[in-house]
């Protein structure tokens, strides 16, 4: 696979209710007159051709106002809607009418402000070296991971444990850092087949995105690459008031 035409997909339809705020998490201020969106866009826009944001319809006015005051300078931007919160997998595929026009997508969670440009660059570089129908993602070893990827000896994903669904993750397990490169060819068909086979999460009631990755890797036999990121901070999103305070201080 040569360096292709990449669409970054940023699922960001959730509100900051767990943070005790009444603005979209994507527009949270994080110092130096920057928001979460400004930081994420700066990290991905120079490495992709387009950025698609998945929003709740109620967020559109505020997001458009922010874009008008902070024009994008690199990759073009569009948005799609997720009207009902059905999980990250559903959010990603809400935007397929746009991202199916590209050869690859780079999914980036909408609160991963500590993600480094170098990690994004390495993810895409490895992905470009793959044959078609491929996935690539960075992993980070953690003492008590929130999610834990189980790989076989061939480097295939065979399972993802999720603590929010009641799974017990391994000590020093492998978590992701909120970025995933995937081929678009055959991706929607694989997701639709996955939906017919998968159970909803025991606690969230969602068909989650992360278990889709072992399905692609082991069931669909997609070419799979991963690598370790050693800075644990890159895996930290903004999920709690403590996370928000940490990044507001760190990014002053």
Q: What ranges do the domains of the chain cover?
A: 6-232
Domain 6-232 falls in which CATH fold?
A: Spore Coat Polysaccharide Biosynthesis Protein SpsA; Chain A (3.90.550)
Rounded alpha-carbon distances, angstroms, from residue 7 to 87, 119, 124, 152, 192: 20, 17, 11, 30, 21
pLDDT at residue 32 in the model? 74
pLDDT at residue 229 in the model? 97
**For the packed helices 117-128 and 36-44, what is the interaxial angle rounded to 10 degrees?**
40
pLDDT at residue 29 in the model? 87
Tokens of 149: 């990827």
pLDDT at residue 148 in the model? 98
From the list 146, 134, 154, the residue with the least C-alpha distance to 224 is 134
Residues 6+ apart with CB under 8 A from 67: 77
pLDDT at residue 1 in the model? 42
Per-residue DSSP letters for 136-185? EEEEEEESS-SEEEEE-TTS-EEEEEEGGGT--PPTTEEEE-SEEEEE-T
What pairs with residue 29 in β-bridges? 35
Identify the residue whose tokens are 């909803």: 200
Q: Is 182 left (phi over 0), alpha (psi -120 to 50) or beta?
A: beta
Please state, in angstroms and rounded to a whole number, the distance separating the CA atoms of residues 195 and 200: 9
pLDDT at residue 21 in the model? 74
Cα 53 to chain centroid, rounded: 11
pLDDT at residue 4 in the model? 61
**3-state secondary structure string across 199-212:** CCCCCCCCCCCCCH
| The overall pTM is greater than 0.85 | yes
pLDDT at residue 2 in the model? 43
Integer-rounded Cα radius of gyration of the chain: 17
Report the residue count for the chain: 252
pLDDT at residue 240 in the model? 87
pLDDT at residue 101 in the model? 95
Tokens of 76: 């073009």
| Residue segments in the chain with a per-residue pLDDT below the cut of 70 | 1-4, 15-18, 20, 252
Q: Any idea what DSSP says for residue 46? A: G
From the list 6, 93, 86, the residue with the least C-alpha distance to 54 is 93
């Amino acid at each position: 696979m040569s360096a292709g035409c990449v669409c970054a997909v940023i699922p960001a339809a959730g509100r900051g209710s767990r943070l005790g705020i009444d603005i979209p998490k994507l527009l949270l201020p994080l110092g130096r007159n920057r928001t979460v969106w400004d930081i994420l866009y700066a990290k991905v826009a120079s490495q992709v051709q387009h950025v698609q944001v998945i929003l709740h319809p109620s967020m559109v006015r505020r997001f458009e106002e922010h874009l008008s005051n902070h024009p994008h300078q690199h990759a073009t931007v569009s948005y799609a809607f997720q009207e009902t919160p059905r999980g990250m997998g559903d959010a990603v595929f809400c935007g397929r009418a746009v991202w199916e026009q590209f050869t690859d997508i780079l999914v980036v969670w909408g609160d991963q402000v500590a993600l480094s440009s170098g990690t994004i660059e390495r993810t895409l570089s490895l992905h470009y070296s793959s044959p078609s129908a491929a996935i690539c993602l960075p992993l980070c070893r953690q003492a008590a991971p929130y999610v834990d990827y189980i790989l076989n000896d061939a480097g295939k994903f065979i399972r993802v444990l999720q603590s929010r669904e009641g799974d017990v993750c391994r000590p020093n397990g492998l978590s992701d850092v909120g970025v995933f490169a995937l081929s678009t060819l055959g991706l929607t068909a694989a997701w639709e087949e996955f939906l017919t086979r998968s159970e909803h999460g025991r606690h969230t009631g969602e068909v989650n995105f992360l278990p889709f990755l072992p399905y692609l890797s082991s069931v669909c036999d997609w070419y799979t690459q991963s690598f370790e990121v050693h800075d644990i901070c890159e895996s930290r999103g903004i999920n709690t008031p403590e996370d928000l305070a940490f990044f507001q201080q760190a990014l002053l």
